[in-house]
Each structure stands twice: as structure tokens, then as C-alpha cells.
Amino acid sequence: MGDEFDGLEIAVLIPCFNEEVAVPRVIADFQRALPGAKIYVYDNASTDRTAEVAYRAGAIVGFEPFPGKGNVMRRMFSDIEADIYVLVDGDDTYDAQAAPQLVRELLNKQLDMVNGARVTSIKEAYRFGHRFGNRLLTGLVQEIFGRQFSDMLSGYRVFSRRFVKSFPAISSGFEIETELTVHALELRMKTTEVATRYKDRPEGSTSKLNTIRDGIRILRMIGMLVKEERPLAFFGYTALLLSVLSVALSIPIVIEFVQTGFVPRLPTAVLSVGIMLVAVLSMACGLILDTVTHSRREIKRLAYLEGRAPQWPASTARAAGGVERAAMRGVYGPRAENDAASAAVPAMPAAAS
């Protein structure tokens, strides 16, 4: 893999469904961008010749019979062993030449995920409906979980091994990108976002996205993740709404009882009490599940910590250290380098008297 990535196992993961037109170009582009990386194409129940053309192009081909991007990614994450994982769609819309930059960013800063944010001026490549939906859904996740990403639904990412092996992968479809983002935010992983060029599909290739259907699925996934990761807020707000409704129904009854001493609308009174009981139960559920969520998060964090942070191989790191020292000498003079070297050497223990 040239001199730059020697000693690192880099896996390029390409989940595919009916991409026989585009996937050979994707494989060839990543072979040039990351020479020596292992390129995996997993065929997700395609009805065309995706697996055949991918094999002929030099990829390692796998199969996932259960349809859906989430299912095939779960299979790839569990089957494939590597130090660094590059995930990209098989539709030839992402820039393979940006891959070395994304991998470098991950290694230099010891990150767990680098998100390739899509940038394009081609309207056909990134249609208005998809762009609007992405902004809406990304904004919703930003408000709930954090603002680290501006393009939550990008299909171009680079992961550390410990991210991949600690990711539970519950989703079955395109909502997997939302789950990836929330997983990183909830475990407070080190991440960044890099702008990457986005282009139109090649002629003869068709998009599998459905703006309305997939948008609803992603909304449902966000709701489920809020319930799973923020149960106190989810059930607490539910309890608040139910309490307000219960009080609103009971006010006329209480006023009438104070004035006349009678409760003529008994069914409404019973309904009001029932709603308030459900509100109390909802709040209790939120408190209990919040404790469970903290335990689950600790377990996921421990699984994450079993892996080591991504880093350059020792030889490359030594070379980089030499460059860094040279840069320090050029900018700050010899004293800066000497000070840094002195700080790195531990003091000798005092001799016993």
C-alpha cells in the first residue's frame, strides 16, 4: 500500500444491491486510491450480475440474503477483520481519491469515525427532496443528540476497529446511517467531518432511495433511538403531556363540584383520573429505564475500550516524529526541540543516602 499505509490492514466495504453498472468503477477507483487495501463487495440479494462483475473486478465477494443496507452492513462488520474500515456506497457517487485523506485524518487524530460530508453543485446528484430531508433529519438529531455532524446520512465514512466491533447494528435498512451517528455521539467517541465531492450516478444506474418511505423509516429510527437512549426525557415529556390533558379535563368538573357539590360528568372524571395514572406510570417507566440505559451504555463503552485507538505503524510514527521535531526546530528554534525531548525523558530516581 505504498509507504504511507504499510503495516495497516485497510478494508473497503461496499454494500451493493443491483449495482452491476457502477460497482466495477468503484472497485477500480479504490484500488488506485488505496493500493493494497482489501476491497469487499457484499451482494444484498441482487437480481442482476453485481456479484459476478465485482469478482471479476478483483473484489472479495460476500452475500447477505436478508434485504436492507442495515442487514448487509451488520454482516460485513461481523465478518471482516481489519485495522481501519472504509465504508462507501456501490453507486459511484463518492470520490475515491478522498479516501487517503480520510484515513490520514483518522490516524493523525486517533479518531473513531470520519464522516464524508457531501458537497456538490449537481442538482441531479443530490436532488432537492433528498437534500431537504437530510437537513431536516440531521437537524432533528443535532437538537437531541449533539451537533458534531452536518451530513448525518452520508454513505462515505471511515471507522476504527473499535467502533466497528462495538456497534450493535439494530437497523435493517437505510436508517443504519442514523444509528451509526447516534452510536458515536452517545459513547462520546472522537469524530470529525470532512467535505468530500459528491457526483451523479453513472448512466444506466438507478437510485434505490425512496424519499418518503425511507424518510419515514429514518424518523421512526430516530424516535426509537430517543426512547432507547433518552428514556427519561421520552417518558417524562409523555407524562407531562398526559398530566396537562388530565388537568384540562378535570378543571370544569372541579369548578362544577365546588359550585353545586355534584359530579354530573362521572365518565369524564374517571377518564381524567385514568390519564393521570398513566402519566405517573410513564414517569416511573422513564426513571427505571434511565437506569437500564446507563448500564447498557457502560457495557457498550467497555466493549469499545477492548479495542485500541487507531494509530500509525511504529516505523511511520517514528518518521512522523522526526518531521515534527524538524518542524519545531524550524519554527521555534533548537530550544523548543530540546525542551520537548527533555519533557519526554523521565527523571532519574534519587540515589539512596
Give 22-81 pLDDT, tens digit per residue: 999 999 999 999 998 999 999 998 999 999 999 999 999 999 999 999 999 999 999 999
| pLDDT for 324 beyond 50 | no
Cell numbers linked to 328: 519545531
The torsion angles phi and psi of 345, rounded to 5 degrees, stand at -95, 125
The torsion angles phi and psi of 214, rounded to 5 degrees, stand at -70, -30
pLDDT at res. 319: 54
CATH 3.90.550.10 fits 10-229, yes or no: yes
Most confident range (mean pLDDT) of 16-20, 262-266, 303-307 is 16-20
pLDDT at res. 171: 86
pTM over 0.85: no
**pLDDT single digits (tens) 103-143:** 999 999 999 999 999 887 665 555 666 677 778 888 888 89
Distances (CA, A) of 202 to 91, 98, 124, 153, 264: 8, 19, 11, 21, 71
Residues in Cβ contact with 174 at an 8 Å cutoff, skipping those fewer than 6 apart = 68, 69, 70, 153, 209, 214, 217, 218
User: What is the number of other CB atoms lying within 10 angstroms of the CB of residue 45?
Assistant: 15
67 vs 332 pLDDT, higher one: 67
pLDDT bracket for residue 190 (50, 70, 90): very high
CA distance 55 to 59: 5
Please tell me what DSSP assigns to residue 345: S
Q: Which helix (H) or strand (E) holds 75?
A: helix 69-79
The mean-pLDDT minimum among 33-47, 209-223, 246-260 falls in 209-223
Left, alpha or beta for 162 (phi > 0: left; psi -120 to 50: alpha)?
Answer: alpha
